[in-house]
Homo-oligomer: A and B are copies of this chain.
Amino acid sequence: MSIDPDPGLLDYSTRPARLPHPVDPANDNLEISLDTRVRMYELQQVLRQFEKRAYDLFMQNLVKGTSHLSLGMEAIATGFGLALRHDDYTFATYRGHAHTIARGAALGAVMAELLGRDNGILGGKGGSMHLTSVEHGMMGSYAIIGAHLCVANGAAWSAQMRGTDQVAVAFFGDGTTNIGAFHEALNLAVVWNLPVLFVCENNLYMEYTPIDLVTAVRNPAAGRASAYGLDPIVVDGNDADAVYVAARTAVENARRGKGPALIEAVTYRHGGHSRADPGKYRPAGEVEAWMGRDPIPMYHQRLLRLGVPEGQLTSITQDVARRVDEATEFAKAGERPTEGVLMTDVWADGGSAWRN
């Protein structure tokens, strides 16, 4: 007996590139204050420059372990970052640098964590994949696919029970829509009418496998919405304004007790999946086309059209560069964590004793 060598599955090599849609010119006119837009420009600059620096430090072998960058995807963390209130909850994945910073965590402490230093935001215990800043409502970065969608429900349930109008947001990728926990989380959120938003950052790939090869519907998130009685929402994940407006609306609804939403933001990562990955599996022309839809230069142009002086944008960019330099210095100045902390913080008493 022998297996059919090619069951005719859609395969990489023959796969057509998935090109970006053009920017919607109407987005210039979305109802967003210029002040908010300038802050979104600044935040995108911070995320971009921070992660480029993180990448450089990698290349200098200063960052051990792994790390997953959002270069090219900054508009999503930015749009939500500005739409959320300080006491809302964020749950992210291992690709969580941007979401952690967008909630207000200190650049230096985040950078130090990547470098595994004792002044890192987790004291070096968690590393790049587990960035957390509870004081900023950033409730964790989860490195195993799926679970955190269920955990976000819990934070939303808690807000509902405590009678606050806080909202919880879970960010995840296109590939994550195929794991069981996604289904369980969405169903419970709707049944309990929880104030939780599920935001799929659809960058078209899981690690190296194109999402179309492994998903029954073209839109991994929006295509599933009806299974939970939700509206299918797809937004341009490379336009911070489009993301911001979608986020603002969904957040408002959740605060008002109108329940959860599932939002698919279509985007693309400029680099590979993680440090090691050159991203070779992507068809010719695809990366280039998406580079042409880089959210930041596009946004720069928009702000100029809206009358923001070039000089203001330049000084923002330079100011961010200075902050990233400072963060890098802060991180490098940290020590490698020592024996003293190895056995702490397993339990609430600060220790790790399992016996008397």
A215 within 8 A of B: yes
A134 within 8 A of B: no
The smallest C-beta distance from A98 to any residue of chain B, in angstroms, reads 27
A180 engages B178 (CB within 8 Å): no
Partner of A180, one of B9, B183, B224: B183
Please choose the segment from A31-39, A68-76, A225-233 that sits at the chain B interface, where 4 or more of its residues have CB less than 8 A away: A225-233
What DSSP secondary structure best describes chain A's contact surface?
helix
Note all chain B residues with C-beta closer than 8 A to A192: 7, 9
Note all chain B residues with C-beta closer than 8 A to A184: 178-180
A161 engages B3 (CB within 8 Å): yes
A190 within 8 A of B: yes
Note all chain B residues with C-beta closer than 8 A to A160: 7
A291 within 8 A of B: no
B162 engages A191 (CB within 8 Å): no
A186 within 8 A of B: yes
Interface residues of A in 165-211 (CB under 8 A from B): 178-184, 186-187, 190-192
Complex interface bits, A122-162 against B, C-beta within 8 A gives 1, otherwise 0? 00000000000000000000000010000000000000111
The smallest C-beta distance from A95 to any residue of chain B, in angstroms, reads 22
A191-B214, A216-B227, A217-B228 known; 8 other A-B pairs, CB under 8 Å? Answer: A178-B184, A179-B183, A180-B181, A180-B184, A186-B216, A187-B214, A191-B216, A217-B229
Pairs across A and B, CB under 8 Å, 24 listed: A1-B162, A4-B161, A7-B160, A7-B192, A146-B180, A179-B180, A179-B183, A179-B184, A180-B180, A180-B182, A180-B183, A180-B184, A182-B183, A183-B183, A187-B214, A190-B216, A191-B213, A191-B214, A217-B227, A217-B228, A223-B226, A223-B227, A223-B229, A227-B227
